[in-house]
């Protein structure tokens, strides 16, 4: 199968990255710290804006905007994933599959990631809501404000959401949002 990635320069993109075999280790305190350092290091060398993010135990959803003239999110993800994988707590590293063992790789992440090019303001808003509601959708909390590994509270502080958004009623999004 041939994978075709969007080449929109300076675009905004929604991503989903999943751990190998969906092992739930991303939210371990030491791993959250490693993820933060990995993101900061890559952002310094290859600038981009994280518009919204949520880190769940076995996957990450985020929205990035790349600088004008730049479409190379794949290199950024490769660098983030490899920096994290090198430092991830050994008790959290998943099972090494036979194919990866030959090359000495740790099986921390699924090989690929999901990418969607944001088309317009409505698409952007839908994906931000998908990101922030995801911990509730997975039954991890009752409201987005209760999940600490998310950009939701920065949106609340900016006045874009009420703190109780998503509490007590299901947020309905188009079926394709997050799954295009």
pLDDT bin (cut points 50, 70, 90) of residue 6 is low
CA distance linking residue 57 with residue 142, whole number of Å: 16
The per-residue pLDDT for range 21-78, each reduced to its tens digit, is 888 999 989 999 999 999 999 999 999 999 999 999 999 999 999 999 999 999 999 9
Counting beta carbons within 10 angstroms of the beta carbon of residue 91, is it exposed (0 to 12), middle (13 to 18) or buried (19 or more)?
exposed
User: Whole-prediction pTM value?
Assistant: 0.87
pLDDT at 5: 60
The residue among 92 and 112 whose pLDDT is bigger is 112
The per-residue pLDDT for range 143-168, each reduced to its tens digit, is 999 999 999 999 999 999 999 999 98
pLDDT at 17 over 90: yes
Contact by Cβ (8 Å): 54, 61 = yes
**In terms of DSSP bridges, do strands 49-55 and 59-65 run parallel, antiparallel, or are they unpaired?**
antiparallel
All structural domains of the chain, each given as residue ranges with its CATH number in brackets, are 12-119 (3.30.70.1290)
* pLDDT averaged over every residue in the chain: 87
What percent of the chain shows pLDDT beyond 70? Answer: 84
Counting beta carbons within 10 angstroms of the beta carbon of residue 125, is it exposed (0 to 12), middle (13 to 18) or buried (19 or more)?
middle
Distance (Å) of CA 179 to CA 16, 61, 126: 9, 11, 12
């Amino acid at each position: 199968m041939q994978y075709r990635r969007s080449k929109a320069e300076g675009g905004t993109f929604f991503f989903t990255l999943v751990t190998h075999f969906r092992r739930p280790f991303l939210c371990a305190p030491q791993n959250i710290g490693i993820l933060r350092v990995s993101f900061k290091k890559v952002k310094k060398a290859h600038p981009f804006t994280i518009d919204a993010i949520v880190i769940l135990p076995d996957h990450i959803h985020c929205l990035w905007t790349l600088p004008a003239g730049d479409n190379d999110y794949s290199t950024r993800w490769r660098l983030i994933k490899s920096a994290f994988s090198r430092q991830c707590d050994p008790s959290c590293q998943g099972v090494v599959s036979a194919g990866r063992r030959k090359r000495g790789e740790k099986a921390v992440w699924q090989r690929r990631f999901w990418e969607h090019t944001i088309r317009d303001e409505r698409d952007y808003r839908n994906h931000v809501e998908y990101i922030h509601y995801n911990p509730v959708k997975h039954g991890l909390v009752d409201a987005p404000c209760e999940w600490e590994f998310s950009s939701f509270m920065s949106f609340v502080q900016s006045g874009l959401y009420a703190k109780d958004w998503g509490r007590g009623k299901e947020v309905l999004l188009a079926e394709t949002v997050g799954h295009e």
